[in-house]
Structure formats: structure tokens, C-alpha cells
Structure 1
């Protein structure tokens, strides 16, 4: 059964290598949360591989998997970024940046050869990766009085919610994460607690 509140990503950076006719394609996969991270990662790889001819990449981000970008970095259009992205798509991975660093071996591979090489290098890195499933969580702020603390904590414990900010002034204020598929049920329970207010 497919849930619409989970997505697949990678746990940590992984690496793979593919060789063809003397050219070396080194693929790196990075778990990322936003495309602002790309610039620094590419800069690091260019420093690590100053003699490489191309640093081609593709990203896919967002639990809804709608944001993606590709860069052929000087390779013929459609021969690098697109096959890298298609490999991520075929395995339904998101929140991932895939970069393939190419060292040119002196022999031209042609369009089909390039497409295959970028795809295979990306697959090699995916094969080395630890693929994990994450839930899509929505953030809510709840505010309540001290006397109902036990009731609130019971809901949080029962529903396995994450608290990531809390303050205890005149009222208690928590930022909580609720799994997308649980939102209605959890908010219904919270709304029964006297004086509790929430915003999402």
C-alpha cells in the first residue's frame, strides 16, 4: 500500500565510479534539504577535483518531489543532468543532490555513451547509498495552560509526536511535528483539551 506521507532519501553521502574508454565518472550523492546547499557542495568538489573537465548534477527536493534542477556543465545538452535526474526519478529518491565529476580520457563517447555513463555512475553511487524512508511531517504550534500539561503530554506520547521547541511562561508553548496522515486525528484530540490553542 502506498502512503502519500512518506518519501525515500539517502542517509548520508555516498560515492560510485564508472569508467568508459578511459573516461572516469565519479558520482557523489548528498542528502540535502534545499537548493541553497548546491553551490557550496559544487565548490568543494571542484576544489577536490581541479583537473576534472565537467561537474554535472541534478537535484530533486521536497517530499512532494516537485522541485528539480539539472546542469550539464558543458556536456552536450541532455547527456548529463537529465540522465542523472532520471536515475533519481526511477528509484523515487528525493532530497538528493547527485553530482558526477568527469575526467576525460581522450576518446569521445558520443551522445548514447555519455547518457549511459552518467546514468551508470549515478546508479553506482545509489548502490552504495543507504536508502531510508522518511515521513512527511507538518509543524504546529500549540499553546495551553499549565494545569492541562499532563493531558497534552499524554496525546504527545500516545501519538509519538516530536517536540522541537518549548517554552513555559504564563502559558506553555510547544512546536510539534505531526505526521501528515495523523494530523486530523491528533488535532481532534488536542482540541478536546480545555483552553488549548493551535496554529499550523
Structure 2
């Protein structure tokens, strides 16, 4: 499972023509999680004029929902969703709370305000890519293990939890798409004389610039 999402939960605020726009972002995995978060923000900001929302759920962004929460139709939730889509984010919910400052923004102004609230919040919080890695387990002699560090350095890899008994058992994790090439490479490196097999998979978070 590989996808892009926000680095962490967080919020950002801006003032546009005396109205306060507060954007809360959260990582979620189900539609229920997203709706619970929206309700939480609505309770916290029950005095606000609007709590508009948008969320995307699923590795392939299968579930998308928006709410204008009283703003003119299409001026809040849809532009908020558009920002999340343009940034290719999923498993994320955005809630923009508006405290009206007395100056009407018009449809175009609202669209820009809600979109920029989400965009600015994502920029402040940061984005990551969730990548799946494949584990590779090795059983090596001590002589083989001594040269294994050279292989790790040359391939910018790190070992995990080596166990030293009669032999050395250790594990590395590689990007899923590189698994076949690394297995072939390790077999050649040890001239077919090491025990090498795939193990469990793990997910890692890679920061996006």
C-alpha cells in the first residue's frame, strides 16, 4: 500500500477580509474516522458561522466527500477537495472553520479563501509518502558478515536487529519494487553461498519536499 498524505495532524489559521479561517487537517483511515473528526471540530467551534469539510479515503482515493456547511453551494467543500486532489493526498480530512468578520467575500472570494486555507495548512504541516518495503532475511557466516557492511554501504541500506549465534542472522528492508534486483545482487555478492529469503513487509514514511 503506497500513497501520499499529510505528515501529521495539525492546523493553520489566516485572516481574510476580517474573517478567521482555521484549517484543521488529520490523517484518517476510514470514513467513520473522518466524520468523527469533523464532529469533533464542530463541537470545538460551535460558535463559528461555518465548519466546511472535505476528505479523501483509500489507497486509490475511492471515497471523496465534501460539505459547504451553509456556505453557498460549491464555494467551500469542493475547492477544499480540489486542493487535496491536486496534491495527490489521501487518507486525510480537512475542516475549515470560518468566523465571519462582517465583510462578504462573494463566490469567487469564498472559493479562493477555502482553497488557500487548505493549501497553506498542508504547506505548514508537510506531506509524506507511505511506501511499502520488503524484508530480506540473511543467515551469514562471520566471514560473510564482515564483508556485508561493504554491501550495505554501497547500496545505502541498513540492517535491522542482527543476531549473533553460531552464525549471524540479520535483516534488511528494501523498496518493494527493488526486491527482485536486490535478491539477485545479494546472491551474486555471496556467490550463492548465503541463506537469503524474503520476510515480512513494513510501511515507512518518506518526507516529500
Q: Shorter-chain TM-score: which interval? A: 0.5 to 0.7
Residue 49 of structure 1, CA deviation: 1.7
Partners of 1:80 and 1:103 lie apart in 2 by 14
Give per-residue Cα distances to partners, 1:26-47, cap 9 Å, x unaligned.
11334x3634753564354334
Q: Contact 2:52/2:68 (CA < 8 Å) preserved in 1? A: yes
Structure 2 length-normalised TM:
0.62
Q: Contact 2:54/2:80 (CA < 8 Å) preserved in 1? A: yes
Structure 2 equivalent of residue 142 of structure 1? 136
Structure 1 length-normalised TM:
0.64
Q: What's the secondary structure of 2:184's corresponding residue?
A: helix
Partners of 1:188 and 1:8 lie apart in 2 by 33
1:34 equivalenced with 2:29 (yes/no): yes
Query: What does residue range 60-71 of structure 1 map to in structure 2 within 5 Å?
Result: 60=56, 66-67=61-62, 69-71=64-66
Residue 118 of structure 1, CA deviation: 1.2
For the structure 1 residues 7 and 159, does the alpha-carbon distance in structure 2 shift closer, same or farther, using more than 3 Å as the test? farther
Give per-residue Cα distances to partners, 1:153-199, cap 9 Å, x unaligned.
544443223556x474988363x432356444323223444221114
Structure 1 equivalent of residue 14 of structure 2? 17
Query: What does residue range 123-142 of structure 1 map to in structure 2 within 5 Å?
Result: 123-126=119-122, 129=124, 131=126, 134=129, 137-142=131-136
Count the aligned residue pairs.
Answer: 189
Q: What's the secondary structure of 1:145's corresponding residue?
A: strand
Larger Rg: 2
Structure 1 equivalent of residue 95 of structure 2? 99
Structure 2 gap segments, 5+ residues each: 202-209
- Aligned residue among 51, 55, 60 for 1:55: 51
Give per-residue Cα distances to partners, 1:85-108, cap 9 Å, x unaligned.
212333455665432112345777
Residue 145 of structure 1, CA deviation: 2.0
Partners of 2:173 and 2:128 lie apart in 1 by 17
- Aligned residue among 169, 173, 178 for 1:172: 169
Q: What's the secondary structure of 2:46's corresponding residue?
A: coil
Q: What's the secondary structure of 1:78's corresponding residue?
A: coil
Q: Contact 2:134/2:175 (CA < 8 Å) preserved in 1? A: no
Query: What does residue range 182-197 of structure 1 map to in structure 2 within 5 Å?
Result: 182-192=178-188, 193=190, 194-197=194-197
Structure 1 gap segments, 5+ residues each: none
